[in-house]
Structure formats: C-alpha cells, structure tokens
Chain A
Amino acid sequence: MFRFDKRRLRFAAAISAATLAVGMVGTADAQDKVTITFANWASAEGTTRSSIEKVIANFEAANPGIDVVSESISFSEIARQLVLRARSGNPPDVAQLAGNDTVLVGSTGSLEPLDGYISKELAANLKPGADAGLRNKDGALFAFPWNQSPAGFWYNKDIMQKAGLDPNKPPRTIEELNAALAAVKSSQPGVIPLGMDTTNRAFALSSNWPWMQAFGALPVGEGATGAESAEMKAYLTWMRASAQAGYIDPGRKIGEFRPLAAQGNVAFHWDQVLLKGVMQGANGMSNDDFYKTWGVTTLPTAGGKATTFEGGHQLVMFANSKHKEAAWKFIEYLATSPDAIANYTTSVNSSLPSIKTTGNAELDASLDTPVFKAFSEEIIPTLAPQPYGPEFAAAATAIMAGVQEAVTGSQPIDASAASIQQQLPK
C-alpha cells in the first residue's frame, strides 16, 4: 500500500513549488509577448508558403516580443472574409490585399491610417507613385505598398521565330498583334496564341482594363464614356474576332495559362511580373534560358494608349488592432527588410519592392535583370490607376459578363454593349 512518509511529501512539495515557479515565469513571459494575426494568401499557396513562413520566423527571431499567427486565406476569398470579419468586430491585425480588394476593404472605414507610422526616411525611400490609389478621399494612407507587380505583355521568342516573326520585335499595335497571332496559329496550331483572363471577377476587369484603354474605351469611372461607346464596341469586336479565330482561349483564369506558358504553349501572354517566378518554378528553367526565351514589353494599342495595372500586393492594419506598434513593425519588415525582399518579394513572389533602395548593395544589384529592368523602365511608367471601389466590383460583374457574351455568343456587339450598359451601377 502507498504510504505518505515525510520525505516523499517534502519531495512532492518541492516539485510542485518548482513547477509553479516555472509556470509563473512562463506566464509572465507570455504576458510580455504580443501576438498579432496576419491574414494572407501567401501562406495558402504552395509556391510562396515556405518563403513567407521563413520570413515570419525571421521577423519573430528579430523581434522576440512579437508572435505572428499567420491565417491562410485564398486570394479569391480574402476580401469577402475580411469585410465580414471587420463587420463582426474581429478582424486580424494585419492583412495582405491586392487590387480592387484593397480599396473595397478600405471603403469600410475599418482600416488604420498609416501616415503616422511612416518615418521620414521611409517616406523618402518609397518609389514615386507607389502609394497611388492607396489614399482615401481625406488623403490618408489606408494601405502600405508591399510590392509592385504590374502586368506586362510577355512574348515567347522561340514561338515567334517558329512563326516566321522577328523575336526581337514584339507587336506594338493591335494590327501587328493580329498578324502575329495569325502567324502563330497557322504555324503552331497546338499553341495558344494569346493568354488573357476572360473570367467574370473583379481581377479580370482589372486585367482587361488596359486592353479596353488600348482601344480608347473607358466604361466606368471619372470621365467614363460608358459601355456603348465606339471604342468599347471596337474592343468587344476585337475580342470576338480573336475568340472566333482561336487566338484566345476564353473562360480560363490567368493562372491557368501559366503552366501552359511554362511548357512553351503560349505565344503572347498578358500577365504580371510574377510570371517569371511561377514559370521557372514549374519548368526549372535557368535565368539565362528564361531571358533567351521570354521578353516582356508594353501592351500593343489601337488608337488608345498603352497602360498597365498594378497587380502588386498591399498590407493593411485594422483599426481594431490592439497591438498597432507591433503590427506596423511587421508591415515595415515585410515591405522593406532585405530579408523579406530577398526571400519573398523578389524570389518566389517575383515582384519588385516598393522602395527605391533596400540598403543592401548586393540585393539592389540583383534587381538589375532584363525582366525587372523592362518593368521598371518601360512598363511601370504606363501604370494607370483604375476606378477601384465598391462600384468597380459591381461593374466588374456587368462588364465581364458582357465581354463573355460578346466573346462566346452570337448576338450583335451593339446588343452586348447595351446589355453591359444596362447592368452598370447607376
């Protein structure tokens, strides 16, 4: 039978006291530690997950008082979830957003203005125009530019050469593009001549907006000429002709073209700077081979001007956050630290940092590549802000449904344009 003798009792009491003391120290430590939540899709996607987790771990190591809990949410779901969470009073501290979603979430008024957190040095180091479209009507910055990822007109030099085209002379006008697409289609029937997103979602409208502008169309926003303008009809007519000739593959998301492009089955592709990283991740191509095979330039035009859209990501802090200083520290680290820029922004995310210099000469030198240079010098200057906001989301459904009707249906283009106009928010 078990007996409680004095020695055993003393030993048990000592163990209990020690455990209690260690527990109390642990609790005190935990109390000193701040935990912030970070809603993002970088940790939800296979290509970026390990890198963002590494960056977060490095941040935690550099800031022992801060714990980051990463919440993985898919790109297409994040705005919806953040709006619902902000509405119900439990948003995360920090979130990753992009495009119209940033302005959509910003329009709820639930984001913390960031101007007060930005030092003079950081403000001076931001690239010109990096904060375009990220200020509300009072001029307050509601989102910090994490990285820049505008879209460019990618061309596969090998496919162009096989089609009898000059691989160093990408098409500059829609007329030249049509001729190039015809040449690719007739010489290589298995190749998709032009990859572009024609799904019905806000991102697809962002992606198609520069094509509309290439024809001089401006369906919504300030100075809009509506969906029934001659320019918009010219764009819709060209889209239909391209689909009927088999130049574009309607209904695919932009991401669905990427593996095909990596296999060398897409001749021209309207996609962001991150395409390089995604393709190399898929086919293991070396940098030298990539630059030999792929080039990138501005969008061909037809009467309008060459523009592009900012597909880069932004970081936002919610006004409800109880740890704003820690949240800002984390935002600043992700956007400006050489660690985050080297391990995430320019590597797996294959995008450009939003700051002029990283403070690391080696890292700055690594940005001097043909692709990054083409984007920095040629494409980024054509960035044109889009009329983002709640109305853009509503317009996206109407416009892209009309584009799909025009591309896949047989009704007159005038009827498709009228249908879009009827559905646009009044």
Chain B
Amino acid sequence: MAAQAPAATQARARPRAGREPWLDWMVLPTLVVMAVVVGYPIVYTILLSVEDYNLLDFSPANFIGADNYTKLFSDPIFWQSLRNTAVYTFGSVGISALLGLALALLMENLGGARFRAIRALLLTPWAVPFVVVAFLFRYMYLQNGGVINALLLSSGLASAPVPWLNSASLALPAVMVANIWAMAPFFFLLLSAALSAIPNEVIESARVDRAGTWGMIWHIKLPFLRNPLLISSLLMVISNFNDFAKIWAMTQGGPGYSTSTLVVYVYRLAFENFEFGYASAIGVIWLMMLMVFAWFYMRALRMERR
C-alpha cells in the first residue's frame, strides 16, 4: 500500500505536467510591457528603415523598399564607423579584461587595511559617471593647457604638444584609454570575486603538488575564471557597442570621422540631418549585430549554469 502511493502520485503528476501551457498567463503583464517598451520601437524602426523618412518633411513618408540598405553598402562613413566600433569595443574590452585580471591576481593575497584602501581606490574609476570621465580626459588631453602635454613637455619627453584628440591617428586610441581606465575596475571587481570563490582544497592540493606561481595561475586559476571572464566580456562588448557619451563628449566622432562609431553616426543622421529612414536602416543592422552578441552571452550563461 505504502509503495503504491508514490506511484499513484507520479501517475497523477505526469498528465498535469503534460498539460502545462507553453505560455503562463502570469507572464502576460511582463510580455505586454515588453511589447510596448521593446517590441514597438523595434518594429517601428524596421518599418522606418524601408521608408524615405525625413523629420523636417511633414508630408507622408514614401516606401522605398531596400534602398536605404543598398545605400548603406556604398557609404564609406558607415564602414569606417563600423570599423571604429569594432576597434573601440573589442580593443577596450580586451585590454580592460587583461588589466582587471592582472590587478585581481596581484591584489588577491594582499590583506590589511592599507591594501583594502588600495583596492577601494582601484575601484573608484568605475564609480565615476561616464560623462565626467570623458570631460576629465578631454581636458587632460588638451593640446594647449592639458596636464598630459604639460607633463610631457616639462619632463622633456616631448618637444611639442601631442595632439591627442586632434590627430586622426591618435584620437581613437586616446578615447580608448579613457574607456579602459573607467572599465578595468569592473573586471577587477568581478574577477576578484571569482578568485575568492575558488575552493581552498583545489589551491591546497596544487600547492602540495608544488605548483609554481605561473603554473597555479595558468592551470588552476584561469580555468576557474574562464566563464566569469567570458560573461563579463560579452556584457561589456554589448555595453561598449552602444557607448555614446564618452565619444560624443570627447571628440563628437572627429577629427573627421576618425572616432565616429555606429552610435555617433546614427545620432548625426537622425538628430542633425533628421534622416530617420536611413538612420533606422543602420539601426536595424546594428540591432542584428547586437543580437548575435546577446545570443553568445545567453549561451555562455547557460554553460555557466551547467
């Protein structure tokens, strides 16, 4: 009798599980909100991307099919902006992740009040608002009166002021330095937490096996850090892909188009030239690229759970 009871429960549970609806009604309010806040703008952007829609022209927009998309392929500014976006995003994230990792490994075993203060200091740039970071670096980079040039000139390292933000070849790396300064603490924080989560038994057994510092980092710690590093990097790639404030405040995409990223180009097209149709076409391409990154991110999250 007692053995029959759980079997009966299972028999009752199975059909209920089979009847489980694919859509839970409790999720509906969230879906409605998402449809309004996310779905509608996306659908409207796709619709705008196939129209010749200029905000200054109050007459109805014309349907032009894929013209905006074909125009995009022959637009050198679009390609330059895409290239700049890739360099800015992957360059900043890659270097920040390495810096964050190095700092986390260096600070890992350092305790005491002094090192706690240094740790807090290292995290400060992450707390500074992006626009403040941008203006801070903009003024430090100034060709005339900037502190960096003043130091370089007074120490004799440069004979003339370096045009950090006024040189087509230096501007993008200079903006990236500001971005890396602000982003590296994020990786430091995250990787420090991941390092402290490595089980002590693993570290102890590696020590018993006489693993050296590099061996310990390479064979023990880095494998544990792989997933947090991947997830945080993907998150930062998505965030940097959309970074507008720093670039706009520092260079407005210039000089020329040397620091113009997709977000800056779309802003100029939409809100300076009011070409919403063409700007939307770029927005759609941009969205598709972000969705690829988002897919990788979701996959990485699933891997982490397993």
- Residues from 232 to 259 in B contacting A, C-beta threshold 8 Å: 251-258
B165 to chain A, nearest CB (A): 6
Q: Is A277 an interface residue (CB 8 A)?
A: no
Given A200-B252, A409-B256, A397 contacting B273 (CB threshold 8 A): yes
Q: How many residues of A contact B (CB 8 A)?
A: 36
Decide: A408 and B252 in contact? CB cutoff 8 A. Answer: no
Q: Is B63 an interface residue (CB 8 A)?
A: no
Q: Is A393 an interface residue (CB 8 A)?
A: yes
Decide: A104 and B56 in contact? CB cutoff 8 A. Answer: yes
- The dominant DSSP class at the A interface is helix
Given A251-B251, A408-B163, A83 contacting B55 (CB threshold 8 A): yes
Write out, one digit per residue, whether chain A residues 77-90 have a CB within 8 A of any chain B CB (1) or not (0).
00010011001000
Write out, one digit per residue, whether chain B residues 158-174 have a CB within 8 A of any chain A CB (1) or not (0).
00110101111101000
Write out, one digit per residue, whether chain A residues 392-414 have a CB within 8 A of any chain B CB (1) or not (0).
01101100011011011110000
Q: How far is A87 from B274 in the complex, measured between Cα atoms in Å?
A: 12
- Residues from 242 to 258 in A contacting B, C-beta threshold 8 Å: 243, 246, 249-251
Q: How far is A320 from B160 in the complex, measured between Cα atoms in Å?
A: 57
B295 to chain A, nearest CB (A): 33
A263 to chain B, nearest CB (A): 10
Decide: A404 and B274 in contact? CB cutoff 8 A. Answer: no
Decide: A405 and B168 in contact? CB cutoff 8 A. Answer: yes
Q: Is B83 an interface residue (CB 8 A)?
A: no
- Residues from 374 to 395 in A contacting B, C-beta threshold 8 Å: 390, 393-394
Q: Is B54 an interface residue (CB 8 A)?
A: yes
Chain A's closest residue to B144 (CB) is A249
Decide: B255 and A390 in contact? CB cutoff 8 A. Answer: no
Decide: A408 and B166 in contact? CB cutoff 8 A. Answer: yes
Decide: B255 and A409 in contact? CB cutoff 8 A. Answer: yes
Q: How far is A83 from B54 in the complex, measured between Cα atoms in Å?
A: 11
Write out, one digit per residue, whether chain B residues 23-65 have a CB within 8 A of any chain A CB (1) or not (0).
0000000000000000000000000000000111010000000
Q: Is B271 an interface residue (CB 8 A)?
A: yes
Chain B's closest residue to A191 (CB) is B144
Q: How far is A260 from B168 in the complex, measured between Cα atoms in Å?
A: 25
Q: Is B77 an interface residue (CB 8 A)?
A: yes
Q: Is A47 an interface residue (CB 8 A)?
A: no
Decide: A251 and B255 in contact? CB cutoff 8 A. Answer: yes
A393 contacts which chain B residues (CB < 8 A)?
272-274
**A251 CB contact (under 8 Å) in B54, B161, B166:** B166
- Residues from 203 to 248 in A contacting B, C-beta threshold 8 Å: 243, 246
B170 to chain A, nearest CB (A): 9
Q: How far is A200 from B252 in the complex, measured between Cα atoms in Å?
A: 7
A246 contacts which chain B residues (CB < 8 A)?
160-161
A113 to chain B, nearest CB (A): 16
Chain B's closest residue to A110 (CB) is B58
Q: Is A199 an interface residue (CB 8 A)?
A: yes
B77 contacts which chain A residues (CB < 8 A)?
423
**B254 CB contact (under 8 Å) in A84, A260, A401:** A401
Q: How far is A252 from B55 in the complex, measured between Cα atoms in Å?
A: 30
Q: Is B84 an interface residue (CB 8 A)?
A: no
A419 contacts which chain B residues (CB < 8 A)?
256
Q: Is A74 an interface residue (CB 8 A)?
A: no
Chain B's closest residue to A404 (CB) is B255
- Residues from 97 to 115 in A contacting B, C-beta threshold 8 Å: 104, 107-110
B134 to chain A, nearest CB (A): 14
Decide: A251 and B254 in contact? CB cutoff 8 A. Answer: yes
Write out, one digit per residue, whether chain B residues 133-173 have a CB within 8 A of any chain A CB (1) or not (0).
00000000001110000000000000011010111110100
Chain B's closest residue to A109 (CB) is B58
B1 to chain A, nearest CB (A): 68
Q: Is A202 an interface residue (CB 8 A)?
A: yes
Q: Is B221 an interface residue (CB 8 A)?
A: no
A255 to chain B, nearest CB (A): 14
B68 to chain A, nearest CB (A): 15
Q: Is A141 an interface residue (CB 8 A)?
A: no
- Residues from 166 to 198 in B contacting A, C-beta threshold 8 Å: 166-169, 171
B274 contacts which chain A residues (CB < 8 A)?
83, 390, 393
Decide: A202 and B254 in contact? CB cutoff 8 A. Answer: no
B171 contacts which chain A residues (CB < 8 A)?
408
A55 contacts which chain B residues (CB < 8 A)?
none
A199 contacts which chain B residues (CB < 8 A)?
252, 254
A422 contacts which chain B residues (CB < 8 A)?
76
A250 contacts which chain B residues (CB < 8 A)?
143, 163, 166, 255
Q: How far is A201 from B257 in the complex, measured between Cα atoms in Å?
A: 13
A396 contacts which chain B residues (CB < 8 A)?
272
Decide: A402 and B254 in contact? CB cutoff 8 A. Answer: no
Q: How far is A192 from B77 in the complex, measured between Cα atoms in Å?
A: 32
Chain A's closest residue to B59 (CB) is A109
Decide: B254 and A200 in contact? CB cutoff 8 A. Answer: yes
B145 contacts which chain A residues (CB < 8 A)?
260
A80 contacts which chain B residues (CB < 8 A)?
271-272
A390 contacts which chain B residues (CB < 8 A)?
54, 56, 273-274
Write out, one digit per residue, whether chain B residues 258-284 have a CB within 8 A of any chain A CB (1) or not (0).
100000000010011111000000000
Decide: B254 and A404 in contact? CB cutoff 8 A. Answer: yes
Q: How far is A48 from B246 in the complex, measured between Cα atoms in Å?
A: 29
Chain B's closest residue to A192 (CB) is B144
Chain B's closest residue to A398 (CB) is B77
Decide: B256 and A408 in contact? CB cutoff 8 A. Answer: yes
Decide: A200 and B253 in contact? CB cutoff 8 A. Answer: yes
Q: How far is A301 from B166 in the complex, measured between Cα atoms in Å?
A: 26
B271 contacts which chain A residues (CB < 8 A)?
80
A402 contacts which chain B residues (CB < 8 A)?
256
B214 to chain A, nearest CB (A): 43
Given A249-B143, A250-B255, A393-B272, A409 contacting B54 (CB threshold 8 A): no
A243 contacts which chain B residues (CB < 8 A)?
166
A-B pairs, top 9 by smallest CB distance, nearest first, are A405-B256, A404-B255, A408-B255, A409-B168, A250-B166, A394-B273, A404-B254, A404-B256, A251-B166
Q: What residues make up the interface of A, taking CB atoms closer than 8 Å to B?
A: 80, 83-84, 87, 104, 107-110, 192, 199-202, 243, 246, 249-251, 260, 390, 393-394, 396-397, 401-402, 404-405, 407-410, 419, 422-423
Q: A250-B255, A408-B168, A423-B77 are in contact. List 20 more A-B contacts (CB 8 A).
A: A83-B55, A83-B274, A108-B58, A200-B252, A200-B254, A246-B160, A249-B143, A251-B255, A260-B145, A390-B54, A390-B273, A394-B273, A397-B273, A401-B255, A402-B256, A404-B256, A407-B166, A408-B171, A410-B168, A419-B256
